[in-house]
Amino acid sequence: MVRSMTGYGRKDDIRGSLRLTVELRAVNHRFQEILVRLPKNWSMLEDQIRKQVAMYVRRGRVDVTISLEGSATISSNVAIDWSIAEQFLQLSREMDQRFSLETPLTAKDLLLFPGVIHTNETEEVDREEVATWLLDVVNTAAEDLLSMKMVEGEGLQADLIHRLLSVQTWLEEVRLLAPSGTQEYHNRLHQRLSEWAAQAPFELDQQRLVQEVVFFAEKSDISEEITRLTSHCHQFSQQLEKEEAVGRKLDFLLQEMNREANTIASKANHLRIQHLAVEIKTELEKMREQVQNVE
């Protein structure tokens, strides 16, 4: 089944105070290229995300944008280090006695000393749980992208099959007309030479006429080109039914098909065949434009 290289996938999800958004935008590219943009604190997941998206994309460029909004922490817990506070209090009393001071130490004074009071922050959600959640959402967004690529691929495949049938129809007509080209050339040549010989004082050399017709037949023979183009059409049709990425193979086949059509147009000394060759080349060019979107 043909897939398009272009598509869009998106998934939004909320967990607690966190809001997660994953967007995937796929465009044409010769090879597979996956670019990931995510919050700095989660950059360690970039490689995993790239590998996960790669399972849904065989060829093309995909921009993955991940936004994680909200806070993963709760209010800080305030605590007092009583051992440090007691040390400061003991030192204060010793200084009062040593220097005969009368400076009573209050609780407020103690709280201002470094290390007496400190805060503890705890995470609301475990980082491993958030990472697992994020990868699950990426997977869902990638499935959404794949769904769109397959829908567009069905349209591309239908169009390519329709155009291929036109090429095959015209090619069959070329095959049927090919033998008549030599006979028509023989008749025209014989008529012209007969008209000229009627005014000349010598007889027409029939053997020389036959040799000229044979030479023309060999020079304008397009049977090999017809056979190769027919084979390429068959291979093209087979590739359209495969599950793998076939875009590059289809593009190569179209190049070969166009080469055979060009040769037919240049070799065939037959007006109708030349006209059909032009039609085939025009249709092949339209097919090649479409194949540029095939994965």
pLDDT tens track for 105-151:
777 776 777 877 877 655 555 788 999 999 999 999 999 999 999 99
127: number of CA atoms within 13 Å, CB side?
A: 6
Measured between alpha carbons, how far is 4 from 291 in angstroms, rounded to an integer?
9
In the 8-state DSSP scheme, what is residue 72?
A: S
Domain boundaries, the chain: 7-72+125-150, 77-120, 153-291
The pTM score is 0.69
- What's the sign of the alpha-carbon dihedral 204, 209, 212, 216? positive
Distance CA 149, CA 44 (A): 29
Q: Distance of CA 283 to CAs 2, 171, 222, 279, Å?
A: 19, 12, 20, 6
* CA–CA separation, 175 and 181 (whole Å): 11
What is the β-pairing status of strands 77-80 and 117-120? antiparallel
How far the first Cα of the chain sits from its last, in Å, is 10
Angle at 87 between CA 85 and CA 88, to 5 degrees: 65
Q: Please, what CATH class does the domain formed by 7-72+125-150 belong to?
A: alpha beta
pLDDT digits (tens, 9 = 90+) for 218-238: 555 788 899 999 999 999 999
pLDDT recorded at residue 86: 82
